[in-house]
Amino acid sequence: MKKFVQLLITFSLCYSTISFSKSKETLQPFVLASVETADYQQTVTDTKQKLLDNGFTIIGEYVPFGNNTIIIATNDDSLKVAAMSKRGAYGAPMRISVSQYGEEVEVSFANPLYFEKAYWLKGSLFPVDKALREALGFVKTFGSKKGLTAKQLKKYHYMFSMPYFDDPYEYDEYDSHELAVSEVEKRLNIEGDPLSMVYKLDIPGTKMTLFGVQMKQTGKDDDEQDLDEEYQMSIVDFARPGKKAYLAYEILVNDEEVEALHMKFRMALYFPDLPMTGKQGFTKLMSAPGEIDDAFEELIEDYR
C-alpha cells in the first residue's frame, strides 16, 4: 500500500510538472517555411502546387503590393474545427505569403496553433499545422520575442481598455443569412471601391460565411491612406522575416449578423511586440481603426 501511494504521488508530481511546463510554452504568430535564392513567380506557382498536393484547397490569391503574393487556403480539418465554435470561421482560412527581398524569396504562414487559442476554437488545428509544415517546410516560428502562452492568447488584448476577441466591429442584422451574404458579396465586387473581395468561404454545416477583404486607397479621399494595406504594413512590417501573412482582413457574416475583428485587437494580435509610440508604433496608425470601421459600415449600410 505504501509503495502504491508513493507511485501515485510520483505520478501526480510528474503530471503537474508536465502541465506546468505546457502552460508556460509560448506560441508565435508566424511560421517561416522557407527562405532561399529563387525565382519569385516560380515560388508562387510551386507553393500553390505544394498546398494542393497536400490536401489544401486554394480559396483566394492576390498581390496587395510589390512582389508579395498572399495565398489563402483551407482543408477539411480546418473547416471541421471552424464549425465547432460560435465564431470559429476566423480560424478556417490559412494565410500564406510569398515575398521577395532582393534575390531571396520567403514563404511564411500565419501560425494555426497561435490563432487556435486566440480565436477560442474548441478543436485542435495541430493536423493543419502539420500539413502546412509538410507541404511548405519549416525553419522557425517568429513574430514575438517571448511569444504568448495559450492562457495569454485566450484572454488577449493589447493593453487596458483595448478590445478582446469578443469585442468586434458590429454592423446591421439582415433578414436572413443568405441576404446578408448576397449583399456583402455584391458590395465587395464594385469596381473602383477601396474594399474588394479576395475570397468567400462558407463553413459547412453552419450559417457562417467569411469574406477576405483587400483594402486599397483609390485616391478619391485623403483619409483612405489609413485603411490602405500597403501603408499599414509600411509601419508595422519593418523587419525580416516579413509578416505579410497578416493579410487579408476579414468580414464575417454570422447567421444574419455582420461583424469584423476590431483592428485594435487584430493587428495587435499579429504584432504583439510593437510599441504604442515611436517610428513603428501603433500611434502611427491611430486613425486606421476608425477608417476601417467607417469603410465596413458604409459597405453594409449601402444596401440597407
Burial environment of residue 119 by CB neighbours within 10 A (0 to 12, 13 to 18, 19 or more): buried
pLDDT confidence tier of residue 3, bands split at 50, 70 and 90: low
Own/partner pairs, 175-178, CB within 8 angstroms, 24+ separation:
175/256, 176/256, 177/207, 177/209, 177/253, 177/255, 177/256
Distance CA 144, CA 27 (A): 9
Burial environment of residue 160 by CB neighbours within 10 A (0 to 12, 13 to 18, 19 or more): exposed
Could you give the 3-state DSSP secondary structure of residue 60?
A: strand
Looking at residue 73, its pLDDT comes to: 98
pLDDT digits (tens, 9 = 90+) for 157-183: 999 889 999 999 999 899 999 999 999
Task: Give yes or no for a contact between 174 and 302, defined as CB atoms under 8 angstroms apart.
Answer: no
Give the chain's mean pLDDT: 92
Other beta carbons within 10 angstroms of residue 114's beta carbon come to 27
pLDDT digits (tens, 9 = 90+) for 197-223: 999 999 999 999 999 999 999 887 777
pTM of the model as a whole? 0.91
The proportion of the chain whose per-residue pLDDT surpasses 70, expressed as a percent, equals: 91
Burial environment of residue 175 by CB neighbours within 10 A (0 to 12, 13 to 18, 19 or more): exposed
Distance CA 67, CA 63 (A): 7
pLDDT at 61 over 70: yes
279: Cβ contacts below 8 Å, ≥ 6 apart:
none
DSSP conformation class of 97: E
Looking at residue 13, its pLDDT comes to: 47
CATH superfamily, region 28-301: TT1751-like domain (3.30.310.70)
Sign for the CA dihedral angle at 134, 135, 139, 143 comes to: negative
Report phi then psi at 14, rounded to 5: -65, -45
Segment 7-17 mean pLDDT: 46
pLDDT confidence tier of residue 23, bands split at 50, 70 and 90: low
pLDDT confidence tier of residue 138, bands split at 50, 70 and 90: very high
Q: Which residue has the cell 515560388?
A: 43
H-type helices in the chain, by residue range?
2-24, 40-53, 76-82, 112-118, 126-136, 150-154, 177-188, 229-236, 263-270, 288-301
